[in-house]
Structure 1
Amino acid sequence: MSAPTTSQSAASKPVAPDRIWTIPNALSTLRLIGVPVFLWLVLGPEADGAALGVLAFAGISDYLDGKLARALNQTSRLGVLLDPLADRLYILSTIIALTVRGIVPVWFAVLLLARDAALLVLPPLLKRIGLGVALPVHYLGKAATFNLLYAFPLLLLSAGDSWLATGARPVGWAFAIWGLALYWWSGVLYFVQAAGLARRHREHTRVLAGAGGPAGTGGDG
C-alpha cells in the first residue's frame, strides 16, 4: 500500500480548534479539580505540605499546557477558555485561603481581586457596541500570573517558624508585589485594547454610513 499523500494526510488530520480530548485540556482540567482540593487542604486540616504540592502542580501544568498545545498542534477553543479560567480560580482561591489564614494582609487581597472585578465590565461594554469578541490574553497578564503562582507557595511556606520559612518570606513577597504590579498593568492594557477596538469599530461604522452601506450604494451618483 502506498503512503498517503500530503493532501490526504491533511484531510484526515482533525481540526485542532474543535478538539476536546487533548493533553493540554487534560492538564487544565486537572488544575481545575485541584482548586477545591487546595482550599480544603489549607483551610481544613491545614496540610500545608500537600497544599504546596497542589500549587506546584498548578504552576508546572500552567507552563506545560501552553507549550504542549503549540508543540503538538492541540490548541483548541476549549483550551482557550479553560487555561485562563484555571488561572483565575487558583488566584482567587489562594488569595482567599491565605487571607483567612492571616498569611497575607487584607489590603493585598483587595487590590488583587479589585483588578479582576474591574475587568468584568469589559465584556458587556464590548458586546453593547457590537463587538462580541474576547480580548486576547496579553503576555503581561501571563507574566503576572506566573509571578503570583510562584509567590503563593512561597508565602504559604513562610507561615512556619523554620529557617526555610524565614528565607521564603522575602522571596515570596518579592514575587507577590511584582505579580500585583504586573496584574494591574496588564489590566490597564486590556482597557487600552478595548478602547482601541471600540475606536476602530466606530470609524468603520462611520465609513460604511458615509458610503451608504456595505455595498457602497446610496452615494452622490
Structure 2
Amino acid sequence: MADQTEAGQAGDRVWTVPNALSVLRLLGVPLFLWLVLGPKADGWAIAVLMIAGFTDWLDGKLARAWNQTSKLGQLLDPAADRLYIVATLIGLAVREVIPLWLLVLPVARDLFLVVFFAFVLPVLRRRGYGPPPVHFLGKAATANLLYAFPLLFLAAHDGWYADPARIVGWAFAVWGVALYWWAGVLYVVHVRQLVREAKR
C-alpha cells in the first residue's frame, strides 16, 4: 500500500539526487564487467559492487527523506538493480566464482516476468492500471543479492576473510534467490487479482 501511495504521489522531476545515484549505478554496470573480464582488477570490481549496493539503499532513503520521489526514479531504480544483478551474475559465472545455477535461477525469473507482463500489461492499461509497484519482498531480494555478490567475490580469493565471506555471502545468495522468486510469484498473483477485479 505504501508503494502504491508513493507511485501516486511521484512527480515528473528529473534532476534529483536519488535519480543521479541511480544513473551512477547504471554507469557502473559496464565498468564492473570491464574490470572483471578485462584487466581482472578484482579489488576495484568489488569496490564497484559495494558502491552499487550502498547507493541502492541510499537513493530510496534520500527520495523519501527529501520528498524527491519521481516517476523517472521509479523506472531507473529497478532497471539499475536488474542490470546490476544480471551483469554481476554473468561476470562472476564467466570467472567461475559462482556456479551456473546461481546465474540461471534469477535470470529465469526475470525472463518469466518479462514474458508474463508482455501479455498482461496491455490488458491492465486498457482497464486504467499501470505496472504493479515494486513489492517489499522484491526490494529485500535485491538487497540480499547485492550484498551477496561482493562477499562471494571476496571468498574466491586467498586471505583470512575468504571463509567468513563465503559463509555470509552464500547465506545472502540463497535467501536472495528464494525471495526473488517469491516476489515474482506475488507480482503474478497481484496482477491476476487486478485483472479479475477489472473484469467484474
Q: TM-score w.r.t. structure 1 length? A: 0.82
Aligned-pair CA distance for 1:180: 0.3
Asked if the contact 2:121–2:131 (Cα under 8 Å) also holds between the matched residues in 1, the reply is: no
User: Corresponding residue for 1:155?
Assistant: 152
Runs of 4+ in 1 over 4 A off after TM superposition: none
Q: Is the 8 A contact 1:122 1:194 kept in 2?
A: no
Counting aligned pairs with the same residue, the percent is 61
Question: In the alignment, what sits opposite 2:186?
Answer: 189
Please say which of residues 124-133 and 178-187 is displaced more in the overlay.
124-133
Question: How many correspondences in the alignment?
Answer: 189
Question: Distance in 2 between the 1:200 and 1:37 partners?
Answer: 45
What one-letter code is carried by the residue in structure 1 that aligns with 2:182?
A: W
Unaligned runs of 5+ in 2: 1-8
Correspondence for 2:135 among 138, 150, 162:
138
Query: 2:93·2:100 contact (CA, 8 Å) conserved in 1?
Result: yes
Among 83, 90, 94, the alignment partner of 1:89 is 83
Higher RCO (C-alpha 8 Å, min separation 6): 2
Write the distance in 2 (CA, Å) between the matches of 1:181 and 1:16. Answer: 30
Post-superposition Cα deviations, 1:81-110, rounded to whole Å, max 9, x if no partner, equal 000000000000000001000011111211
CA contact (8 A) 2:18 2:73 kept: yes
Alignment partners' CA distance in 2, 1:191 and 1:39: 31
Structure 1 residue 170, shift from structure 2 partner: 1.3
Q: Deviations over 1:113-132 (max 9, x none)?
A: 10001101232222342356
Higher helix share: 2
Which residue identity is paired with 1:114?
A: A
Structure 1: runs of 5 or more not aligned: 1-14, 204-221
> Which residue is 1:199 aligned to?
196
Shift in Å at residue 161 of structure 1? 2.0
Q: 1:47 to 1:77 in 2, by over 3 A?
A: same
1:163 deviates by: 1.9
